[in-house]
Amino acid sequence: MAKTVAFHLQKGGVGKTTISGALACQSALNGHETLIIDCDPQGNLSSWFLTDPPKYELADVLQGRCFVLDAILPVRSLEHLSILPTFGIGGTLKIYSETKLADEPYVLEDLIKEVSDKFEHIVLDLSPGLGRLERSCLIASDEIVTPMTPEVFSLDGLEIFIDELAKLKKNMRSNVKHNKIIINSFDERIRQHRDIYNAAVSSGRFKVFKIPVDPLFRKAQETNKVPQLYKVRGRGLKNGTVQALTELDLNIWRN
Ligand SMILES: Nc1ncnc2c1ncn2[C@@H]1O[C@H](COP(=O)(O)OP(=O)(O)OP(=O)(O)O)[C@@H](O)[C@H]1O
Ligand SMILES: [Mg+2]
């Protein structure tokens, strides 16, 4: 049985795609059969890891236009990593979520059950917001991990998310776990970053992780590369980034 983890905060641009993509790679690099489900109509993870246009997308599976295993593709640059893609351009996930999804909120949970014996780890990347699609993804997951940037507005966003998630869990009878946050693009030298980290830790509600600012992420995304294997002029990810990804990998998949 696979463990399914969604990376989510309703706020945009906090690193959901970067972190979910990098941690899916970390899991595959450790030899675990890993599936990315691109649940964001922007299709950012799909354009990061796929170089050829896919035939089918997640929305085709959800609408019964193809079998789930026909839509899952191996990521060529990394063994043990597969992706169920979403087309950023010309895709139908957004329209599906706005029209039909209301009648079938458990459709993602059912899809995940269908592939659960073929993968060990399943990673969901969501779009910002907390609409029907994101809610369906959250209740289909075993765990939600929240990335945030070290800004006051992110702390406000976290409070809103905690509140909305509590309502969702109650209404949908979900037991999804939410006890880890990741402060992304963290810079130890900046006092505000340290203050936000300390505030998150002292709330006592979460295990708090940090990922440093690392320009290699954007470069890897622009060139369809696995960040852990990519080097620019002989330099790869910062040591601090590698350590953070290793620690997160251990904590997220261990139980
Ligand atoms: N640790 C980091 N260091 C440097 N750049 C980063 C880091 N994390 C993310 N970025 C960059 O920040 C931008 C936004 O990140 P990303 O797309 O992962 O956010 P997101 O939360 O998925 O956004 P959206 O809400 O639009 O889906 C990207 O250009 C990405 O390369
Ligand atoms: Mg994203």
- pLDDT tens for residues 59-69? 999 999 999 99
Nearest residue by C-alpha to atom 25 in ligand 1: 12
Predicted confidence band at 152 (pLDDT cuts at 50, 70, 90)?
Answer: confident
Among the residues of 34-106, which ranges form H helices? 44-49, 58-62, 68-71, 93-99
Domains and CATH numbers, the chain: 3-253 (3.40.50.300)
- pLDDT tens for residues 199-229? 999 989 999 999 999 999 999 999 999 999 9
- pLDDT tens for residues 92-126? 999 999 998 888 899 999 999 999 999 999 999 99
User: Among 20, 183, 217, which residue has the most ligand 1 atoms within 8 Å of its CB, making it the best to mutate?
Assistant: 217
Ligand 1 pocket (Cβ < 6 Å) reads: 12-18, 40, 44, 127-128, 184-185, 211, 213-215, 217-218, 221
Provide the whole-model pTM.
0.97
Predicted confidence band at 255 (pLDDT cuts at 50, 70, 90)?
Answer: low
Mean predicted confidence (pLDDT) in 27-49: 98
